[in-house]
């Protein structure tokens, strides 16, 4: 194909411009998803033989998180999860010298969280993971990095229910997820016959919309996601009546890794990356940055 | 195995929950499925169409869609089910599973009806029996003998499908037991092993019983 010099110049210029545009778009996308990315630690050194040293050498981190939890871990259109849990994982990875794109996120629904840690399929689990003693039998927790609390969600026009103590008087049917901690907690406040249990909260939202139940109960963060997507149909009662400390699940007895994560969390408050992680995700619905809870002793 | 030993009463409870769910569904779907099969071979075109439409819709769509329809869709248009022991989602679950399983029962029974030589029905009509009498006293009794093995497979598949109903608000069946165990901190593997054993306790005797029935009613030649 023969082209006149003028046309050839134009074609080359167009090609260059196009490449530049594509590259710029690529950059834009990166900036968008990791706008508040913590700076990756360079040349950090760790005691040989520790989990941190192993991970730093490997240069990758395998993290279990939820893929279906809005604001905490929700798989986006590009296939990567986004949310507060994901940002916390990025903060920890950054301190290990691992950039965000070297983190492999694995979906860990509540059921399999202990198993994936025990089987070493992931290095840590950050998945709205409430710290409790039963779980501590099998794994260790770092953190907590956030304290959620059980709350109630009702239809936006409901004024009869103002807290867990008003449920009996209203003879309200309450929906939660079978086997969950919130389902156990709410049993104190309502008759067993008025508890409706599904496998996921989205079905509870359907039941609430249909008037098949009057209340949905679980952690306020999960409810916030549902309120957020209900387009004003639901509201939070706003009286948390439990404390659910969310921890980072790691291999049982890995005290040094636990202490490292706790130190990283404390530092992330000081350098502002914790606040940035919150504001970009859960803070969009929940508002002000919560104080970092005092870390539990590592064991 | 820790979950199986420590939470044995819970498994027993779930076992009976699943058994109850399956008994209602088995009775309902065998009854409904046989009626649908007679519709499909009926000389009345609207009945044939109804049978065909039912099979087409329920056999070709996922069970969860039927469950969603009965648990959430119908209440949205004002159709509600009575509660069962205080649980508003038991009957929607049973109904959805029944409608779904009936489509498979219908096709099994219809294959049985087709296996009866046409001469039988022709002879019955020739001696003056009506269509209903022909079907009820001549064709169906012979047809049901041949459909016991495929019906057994349909019923066992239904028992396993009942696990999905547990995700739609039917508490106290085996899969919600698994969810509770996992929440208590037992590993999903040990809990699911217990669930699998409990299912076997239902399905293996069901298979043996079907074998016995098959031998009892077979035509001695």
Q: Which residue of chain B comes nearest to A117, CA vs CA?
A: B187
pLDDT tens per residue, range A141-173: 998 999 988 999 999 898 888 888 888 888 889
Cβ contacts (< 8 Å) between A206 and chain B: which residues?
72
Q: How far is A196 from chain B (nearest CA, A)?
A: 6
Listed range (A26-40, A70-84, A259-273) with the worst mean pLDDT: A26-40
pLDDT the model gives residue A28: 37
Can you tell me the distance from the alpha carbon of B46 to that of B52, in angstroms, rounded to the nearest whole number?
Answer: 10
Helix (H, G, I), strand (E, B) or coil at A255: helix
- In chain A, the largest separation of any two C-alpha atoms, in whole Å, equals 87
pLDDT the model gives residue A252: 92
3-state secondary structure string across B162-195: HHHHHHHCCCCCHHHHHHHHHHCCCCHHHHHHHH
Q: Looking at the predicted structure, is the pLDDT value of residue A14 above 70?
A: no
pLDDT the model gives residue A219: 84
Which residue, B140, A233, A89, is CA-closest to A223?
A233
End-to-end alpha carbon distance in chain B:
50
B183 and A138: CB-CB below 8 Å?
no
Burial of B65 (0-12, 13-18, 19+ CB in 10 A): middle
Q: Identify the residue among B185, B190, B191 best suited for mutation to test binding to A, counting A beta carbons within 10 A and taking the highest.
A: B185
Can you tell me the distance from the alpha carbon of A24 to that of A26, in angstroms, rounded to the nearest whole number?
Answer: 5
Residue B29 · residue B98 · CB < 8 Å = yes
Helix (H, G, I), strand (E, B) or coil at A66: coil
How high is the ipTM of this complex?
0.70
pLDDT the model gives residue A70: 85
More confident residue, B115 or A9: B115
User: Hey, is the C-beta of B193 within 8 angstroms of any chain A C-beta?
Assistant: no
Q: What is the mean pLDDT of residues B171-177?
A: 78
HSE, side-chain direction, 13 A CA sphere, residue B205: 6
pLDDT the model gives residue A8: 63
Helix (H, G, I), strand (E, B) or coil at A145: strand
pLDDT the model gives residue A7: 62
User: Hey, is the C-beta of A119 within 8 angstroms of any chain B C-beta?
Assistant: no
Q: What is the mean pLDDT of residues B41-68?
A: 93
Size of interface A-B (CB pairs under 8 A): 74
Cβ count within 10 A of residue B72: 19
Q: What is the mean pLDDT of residues A122-151?
A: 91
Nearest CB neighbour to A206, from listed B72, B88, B180 = B72
3-state secondary structure string across chain B: CHHHHHCHHHHHHHHHHHHHHHHHHHHHHHHHHHHHHHHHCCCCHHHHHHHHHHHHHHHCCCHHHHHHHHHHHHHHCCCCCCCECCECCHHHHHHHHHHHHHHHHHHHHHHHHHHCCHHHHHHHHHCCCCHHHHHHHHHHHHHHHHHHHHHHHHHHHHHHHHHHHHHHCCCCCHHHHHHHHHHCCCCHHHHHHHHHHHHHHHHHHHHHHHHHHHHHHCCCC
pLDDT the model gives residue B25: 95
Residue A143 · residue A254 · CB < 8 Å = no
pLDDT the model gives residue A6: 58
Q: What phi, psi does A130 have (nearest 5°)?
A: -70, 130
DSSP E strands in chain A: the ranges are 61-65, 68-69, 73-75, 81-82, 103-107, 124-130, 139-148, 150-155, 174-177, 195-198, 215-219, 234-236, 244-251
pLDDT the model gives residue A23: 46
Q: Looking at the predicted structure, is the pLDDT value of residue A31 above 50?
A: no
pLDDT the model gives residue A11: 57
HSE, side-chain direction, 13 A CA sphere, residue A210: 24
User: Hey, is the C-beta of A138 within 8 angstroms of any chain B C-beta?
Assistant: yes
User: Hey, is the C-beta of B171 within 8 angstroms of any chain A C-beta?
Assistant: yes
Can you tell me the distance from the alpha carbon of B181 to that of B179, in angstroms, rounded to the nearest whole number?
Answer: 5
A212 and B75: CB-CB below 8 Å?
yes
Q: What is the mean pLDDT of residues A91-99?
A: 91
Can you tell me the distance from the alpha carbon of A97 to that of A84, in angstroms, rounded to the nearest whole number?
Answer: 20
Residue A121 · residue A106 · CB < 8 Å = yes
pLDDT tens per residue, range A168-188: 888 889 999 887 778 888 888
The pLDDT-based confidence of A62 (bands split at 50, 70, 90) is very high
pTM: 0.67
User: Hey, is the C-beta of B169 within 8 angstroms of any chain A C-beta?
Assistant: yes
């Amino acid at each position: 194909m023969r082209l006149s010099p003028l046309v050839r110049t134009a074609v080359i210029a167009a090609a260059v411009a196009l490449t530049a545009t594509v590259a710029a778009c690529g950059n834009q996308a990166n900036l968008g998803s990791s706008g508040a990315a913590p700076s990756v630690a360079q040349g950090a050194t760790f005691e040989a033989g520790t989990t941190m040293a192993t991970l730093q050498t490997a240069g990758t981190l395998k993290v279990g998180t939820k893929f279906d939890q809005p604001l905490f871990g929700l798989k986006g259109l590009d296939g990567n999860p986004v949310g507060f849990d994901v940002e916390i994982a990025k903060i920890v990875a950054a301190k290990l010298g691992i950039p965000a794109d070297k983190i492999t996120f694995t979906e860990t629904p509540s059921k399999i969280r202990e198993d994936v840690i025990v089987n070493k399929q992931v290095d840590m689990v950050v998945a709205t993971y409430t710290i409790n003693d039963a779980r501590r039998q099998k794994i260790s927790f770092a953190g907590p990095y956030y304290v959620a609390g059980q709350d109630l969600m009702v239809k936006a026009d409901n004024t009869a229910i103002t807290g867990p103590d008003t449920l009996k008087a209203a003879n309200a049917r309450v929906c939660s997820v079978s086997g969950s901690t919130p389902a156990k907690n709410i049993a104190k406040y309502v008759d067993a016959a008025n508890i409706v249990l599904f496998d996921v909260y989205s079905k509870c939202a359907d039941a609430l919309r249909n008037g098949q139940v009057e209340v949905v109960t679980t952690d306020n963060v999960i409810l916030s996601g549902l309120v957020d997507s209900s387009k004003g149909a639901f509201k939070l009662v706003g009286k948390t009546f439990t404390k659910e400390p969310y921890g980072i699940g790691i291999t049982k007895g890995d005290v040094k890794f636990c202490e490292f994560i706790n130190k990283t969390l404390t530092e992330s408050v000081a350098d502002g990356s914790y606040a940035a992680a919150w504001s970009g995700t859960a803070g969009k619905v929940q508002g002000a940055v919560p104080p970092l809870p005092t870390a539990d002793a590592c064991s | 195995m820790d979950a199986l030993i420590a939470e044995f009463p819970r498994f027993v409870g779930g076992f009976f929950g699943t058994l109850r769910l399956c008994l209602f569904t088995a009775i309902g779907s065998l009854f409904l499925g046989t009626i649908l099969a007679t519709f499909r071979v009926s000389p009345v075109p609207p009945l044939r169409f109804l049978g065909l439409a039912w099979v087409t819709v329920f056999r070709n769509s996922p069970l969860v869609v039927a469950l969603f329809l009965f648990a959430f869709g119908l209440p949205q248009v004002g159709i509600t089910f009575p509660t069962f022991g205080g649980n508003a989602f038991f009957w929607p679950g049973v109904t959805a599973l029944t409608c779904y399983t009936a489509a498979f029962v219908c096709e099994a029974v219809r294959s049985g009806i087709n296996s009866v030589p046409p001469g039988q029905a022709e002879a019955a009509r020739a001696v003056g029996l009506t269509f209903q009498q022909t079907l009820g006293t001549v064709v169906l009794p012979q047809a049901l003998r041949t459909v016991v093995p495929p019906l057994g497979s349909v019923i066992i598949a239904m028992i396993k499908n009942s696990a999905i109903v547990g995700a739609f608000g039917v508490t106290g069946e085996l899969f919600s037991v698994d969810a509770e165990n996992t929440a208590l901190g037992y590993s999903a593997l040990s809990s699911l092993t217990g669930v699998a054993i409990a299912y076997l306790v239902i399905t293996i005797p069901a298979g043996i019983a079907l074998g016995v029935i098959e031998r009892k009613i077979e035509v001695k030649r």
